[in-house]
Amino acid sequence: MGYCSFSDMQLPDKTIFLIPVHNEEANIEPLLAEIRALYGSVPVCFINDFSRDRTCRVLRRNHCVYLDLSNNLGVGGAMQAGFRYAFEQGYDYVIRVDGDGQHPPSECVVLVERMMVGDVDMVVGSRFLGSGDYRSTWYRQAGIFWLAWTLSKVCRRTITDPTSGFQMVNRAVIGYFAHQYPVDYPEPEALALLSRQGYRFCEVGVSFRARRMGRSSIRQWGTIYYLFKVGIALLVDRCRAVDPRYDRSCAEEWV
């Protein structure tokens, strides 16, 4: 195992960073530089979700590995493409970092540390467990609170940050997500699906940063649609039977 102490910021073998980007031309280079400085030549795969700016050109200029989607699929569709790439290329761990620079790569260590303890398939970085004081608009706070409450009820455990996209997953979950991943606003529903299919996950506290450039893809009306969509999805998923093809016990063969 090529996994050493955390002082020199080593990641486990066969780890890949998946970074979904949509109109993030200004954020890519700083983020990439940060990852390179911290983790050296760890594989990084960008998923360009049909950006309308020069994102693709920036990726090509930096000789990045990237998936270029020919239509806008939303974060969920883009991430599923990334998970399929990681699955087909035989990676054991995926660290998902958002392309807007909100997730500091230095905090990945916390996720890796928890993952290496074992007994979980997915580690989610929660901004409400961490020390960093995260501020947002009141309606978004309320929405997150409501979602967290619902999701905690659905999963029968406490979930503090249901919308966090700062995650690390192992091979079993990569295989599951490569085959099945929610469409838009995927994070809460993905948690519910995982808990339904018998995968284990936990949250750890990390501190988030404010966006560097550009703006969030979820705006005011988006928040209402988000709540509606995710509420329906959680309810329906709860009523759906467990898919035997992607059960946790079946995931062992992908590992």
Partner 1 sequence: MTIPQMFTVVLGGLVCLASICGFWSKRTRRFRALVWLGLGLAMVYVGFRPHIIEYLGEDGTELRLRLVVALLSFIMLSVTLEAIRVSRMQERYAFLWLATGMLLFLGALSPLLAIWGPRLTGMSYGAIVMVVLFSFIIFVLFHVSVTISRLEANVAELVRSLALADERIRKLQCASEIRVHGKQGDQQQNAVTPEESAQS
Find the shortest distance in angstroms from Cβ 73 to partner 1.
5
Residue 36 corresponds to which tokens in the numbers above?
Answer: 């390179």
Which member of 16, 18, 58, 81 binds partner 1 (CB under 8 A)?
A: 81
Strands 15-21 and 44-48: parallel
Site string for partner 1, 148-187 (x = CB under 8 A): -----------------------------------x----
Nearer Cβ to partner 1 (77/104): 77
Q: What is the CA radius of gyration of the chain?
A: 17
CA 18/CA 242 separation, integer angstroms = 27
Nearer Cβ to partner 1 (13/88): 88
125 strand-pairing partners: 204
CA 222/CA 57 separation, integer angstroms = 29
Nearer Cβ to partner 1 (16/110): 16
Nearer Cβ to partner 1 (64/202): 64
Residue 183 corresponds to which tokens in the numbers above?
Answer: 């469409």
Which member of 13, 37, 57, 88 binds partner 1 (CB under 8 A)?
A: 88
84 within 8 A of 146, measured Cβ to Cβ: no
Any contact of residue 85 with partner 1 (CB under 8 A)? Answer: yes
Any contact of residue 218 with partner 1 (CB under 8 A)? Answer: no
Any contact of residue 69 with partner 1 (CB under 8 A)? Answer: yes
CA 121/CA 118 separation, integer angstroms = 8
Any contact of residue 75 with partner 1 (CB under 8 A)? Answer: no
Q: Indicate the residue type of 207.
A: S
Element (H, E) at 208: none
Nearer Cβ to partner 1 (47/110): 47
Which member of 20, 77, 105, 175 binds partner 1 (CB under 8 A)?
A: 77
Residue 65 corresponds to which tokens in the numbers above?
Answer: 């590995």
Residue 4 corresponds to which tokens in the numbers above?
Answer: 């050493």
Q: Site size for partner 1, by CB under 8 A?
A: 16
Give the burial class of 244: count Cβ atoms within 10 A of its Cβ; 0-12 exposed, 13-18 middle, 19 or more buried: exposed
Site string for partner 1, 20-59 (x = CB under 8 A): ---------------------------x------------
User: Which residues contribute to the site for partner 1 (CB under 8 A)?
Assistant: 47, 65-71, 73, 77, 80-81, 84-85, 88, 183
